Structure 1
Amino acid sequence: MGNLLFFIILIFEIAFAMYCIVSKKSHQKLRSGVRIAAFFVFVILILSSVIVWSFRWVLLAIFLFILAGIGTISLIRNNLNNREYKTSRIIGKGVFMTLMLVFTLIPILVFPQYKSPQVTGSYDVATATYTYTDKSRMEEFKDTGKNRFLNVKFWHPKNADESYPLLVFSHGANGIKESNTSTYMELASHGYVVCSIDHSYHSFYTVADNGSIALISSEYMKEFRDSNKEGIYTKAELYQLIQKWMKLRTDDMNFVINTIIEKSKNDKDPVYQQINQDKIGVFGHSMGGAASVWVGRERKDVRAVVNIDAPFFSELAYNQKRDDFEAKDEAYTIPLLNIYSDDVWKQLDTNSVYAANRLTNNYFKEAYTVHFQGAKHLSLTDLPLVSPLLANMLQGGKADIDSYYCIETENELILQFFDATLKGIGRFTSEGTYGPSPS
């Protein structure tokens, strides 16, 4: 819709400018009438839900409203044809309008209107957001003298009186807690309480209950970027970075899980009263997936783990003699589902960071593995739907797999896995490999 509007308005401005130049008239009356009409058409499109109102349309709405106001005033004053015609003025107006059009349409082009992935469950889904403060930890990223805070968001069955399994999600390195919203929606619609964490200063941005905003730490961003470059860190230094990142992430996840469990015992909030403390699963994307595997290793109350495109950092050891990473020799007994894109799949046998992930690792012989052919790292999140432009920029090009097919199939697999492991519904099976095109 954004691209279509852009071309319609752009073509009109060019055509109108050419018409004025050819006829050697300004046609102010016609221009004013068209701009008033454009505003009302925009309003009608919103009221009829052809355009779904959101932040992406605000700048365009303001721009069209201002133009309609100027046109209305000009018509009322009846001074439309008093100004002398000048070709330079017509061209200048055309250029100005084009620049303003591009500016107002940036949010629409970057975040186009899209159809949400299919939700197949019978429950309506409600959401709730909270800020938790960990009084046992001081914030390490900012010298504020305050305790670490974490913003969390829940997706849960609406107006339901039963208890449901708790699923806790951890986002990727520069992600946000809403990164896999379609997954949370699908799970909640089938009777799960899903909590997603914003890891403060690891998250691109997060907003607390009091309105305060925490942006991603520049120090952490530099560490993460440099870790993916050759020659910046030694293997020993990288191993220490991994330990630091994972300690923060796992401490966050443990704190959130413990807080939710405690609140489910004595807090009358409907969200907490829906939680079955005996059925807990964790999952995450990228660095969040690595943290989830780690938490699954540490906690006795976690009964299932989904790792989305991440290395098993908890299962790695640094061999000083070889100056390289190697897999630990300890069995992983928690049910585990691994979901991989091409970006990670091609590194399983070549990058020692993924030494523990290799399919030959007998200590993970009970784990399930799924590979999405044609998928890139961010294909396993909602970003290619929310902003194809940003996804393509961040992951170095467009994925070969269809975005809807990828995320909806991934959501279906995650649901089936948690159904089997936490609810005892059926037995999890998969085709192993999916894509790049729907079968």
Structure 2
Amino acid sequence: MQDKEDEKCKSRMKRPVKVLLIFLLIAVAVGILFKFIMFPPYDAPAVSGNHKVLIKEYTWVDENRVEAFTDSGENRELTVKFWYPEEDGSYPLVIFSHGAFGVIDSNYSTCMELASNGYVVASIGHTYHAMYVKNVKGKVFLADKEFMQSVFVGNGRYDPELERQFYENSLAWMELRTGDENFVLDTILEKANKGEEDPFCLIDADKIGLMGHSMGGASSVALGRERTDIDAVIDLEGTMLGEYTGFENGIEIYNKEPYPVPVLDVFGARLYDEIKMPEDFEEKHHDWQYVNFYVGEHAADYMAVAFRDTGHLNFTDLPLASPLLAKLMGVGEVDAKSCMENVNAIVLEWFDHYLKGNSKLDIEPEY
């Protein structure tokens, strides 16, 4: 009798374990299915260069800045990812800055394309501006909620008060972003001058390009004006917020000094419709121009390239890595892969011309 009671007891004890295992298996299956749906395998754009590409990541602390997004009093920390040729040599340096809620790998294919063609590329994970950043110790930092809310102020419609608020927000964004880029660039150049390990000893410090998407494009343009060691800039779908110098009568005032560095302005053709203002605005500000086009008219060297049937995220790899997520956030009807192949090709051509001295630019005004 005792043996039968023991067997019944063991059987009852096994049931919760079996149920738990079933739930765990279901959870794992759902997780795998979710990952497959959100991030399915995809055919990435092929690189055109002959260099084998190596990748490294570093996390650096800026001892001169306190982290403004926390109350801990800690200094600001940034993680930087490098793509660079395996072969010894001297290569131009390109710094990449992602957009608001972007990630360090947002333009992975672009970085691979450049590195395969003989560039050292450094992508910055802007802590608390990125959707997430994982440092080299595995700690994850998520985007700051207040920052996320501030980006949507106005939401594309014109209102003088909202426009002023957006202007004030943009000053803070550009201060943080250019501070990040300055710190990373200065750190890289210091290590390059010391001849430290790859990739730093491979860098030609006399040939530097800046590139970014959206807010990262804006800060790259801003830094190109600030520094004297920048040779070329590429802005992918970024309103040039750093060119604002004031705010009067409901609109931003633009920097009247000609932009000093060759700048490639890449955007979706839909922009021509999006920048149209209400009739009463146009009557009051009849000479108003979109800031990027104003910069272009007064720049020493400027080229605009419009992509048809694109959305904001078509200038990143997200539509390839997660078509469903990208569709929810904004893409066009263009084929995502061919679009990024064209973007990567003109990015390479622009930098090859200004950083490597290739004699001819063959970039079309529209794709």
Give yes or no for the alignment of 1:427 onto 2:346: no
Instruction: Deviation per CA, 1:331-363: give whole Å up to 9, x if none.
Output: 012011011013534334549997221269521
Residues 160 and 251 in structure 2, CA contact (< 8 A), matched pair in contact too: no
2:11 aligns to what? none
Give 1:228 shift. Answer: 2.2
Name the residue aligned to 1:70. none
- For the pair 1:156 / 2:84, whether they are aligned, the reply is yes
The DSSP-based 3-state class of the residue aligned with 2:63 is strand
Q: How far did residue 177 of structure 1 move?
A: 1.0
The one-letter amino acid of 1:181's match is: Y
Shift of 1:305: 0.1
Aligned pair count reads 335
1:336 aligned residue: 263
Q: How big is the shift at 1:267?
A: 4.8
2:211 is aligned with what amino acid? F
The 2-side partners of 1:136 and 1:210 are apart by: 22
Q: 2:146: which partner in 1? A: 219
Q: Which has the higher contact order (CA 8 A, sep 6+)?
A: 2
How far did residue 399 of structure 1 move? 1.6
Structure 1 runs, 4 residues or longer, greater than 6 Å off: 97-100, 351-354
Q: Does 1:401 align with 2:328?
A: no
1:260 to 168, 182, 188: 188
1:118-175 C-alpha deviation (Å, 9 max, x unpaired): 10101000000000110000000011121100000000001x1111000000000110
Q: Which residue of 2 aligns with 1:384?
A: 319
Q: Provide the C-alpha distance between the structure 2 equivalents of 1:238 and 1:386, rounded to a whole number of angstroms.
A: 31
Partner of 2:291: 356
**Do the aligned partners of 2:154 and 2:163 also contact (CA within 8 Å) in 1?**
no
Q: Counterpart of 2:169? A: 241
Percent identity at matched positions? 38
Unaligned runs of 5+ in 1: 1-96, 435-439
Cα 1:425–1:361 shift into 2, 3 Å: closer
Q: Deviations over 1:236-255 (max 9, x none)?
A: 22211100000000000000
Mapping for residues 121-136 of structure 1, pairs under 5 Å: 121-136=49-64
Largest Rg, 1 or 2? 1
Query: What residue is the counterpart of 1:86 in the other structure?
Result: none
Question: Residue deviations 1:227-284, cap 9 Å, x none?
Answer: 4265695322221110000000000000000000001122521210000000000000
Structure 2 match to 1:79: none
**Residues 133 and 408 from structure 1, CA distance in 2 versus in 1: closer, same or farther, beyond 3 angstroms?**
same
Measured in 1, the distance between the counterparts of 2:261 and 2:80 equals 25
Correspondence for 1:180: 107
One-letter amino acid matched to 2:99: G
1:363-382 equivalence runs, <5 A:
363-364=298-299, 366-382=301-317
TM alignment of 1:133-144, pairs within 5 A: 133-144=61-72
Structure 1 274/232 Cα, relative in aligned 2: closer, same or farther at 3 Å? same
2:211 to 280, 283, 287: 283
Q: Which has more helix, going by share of residues?
A: 1
3-state SS of paired residue (2:42): coil
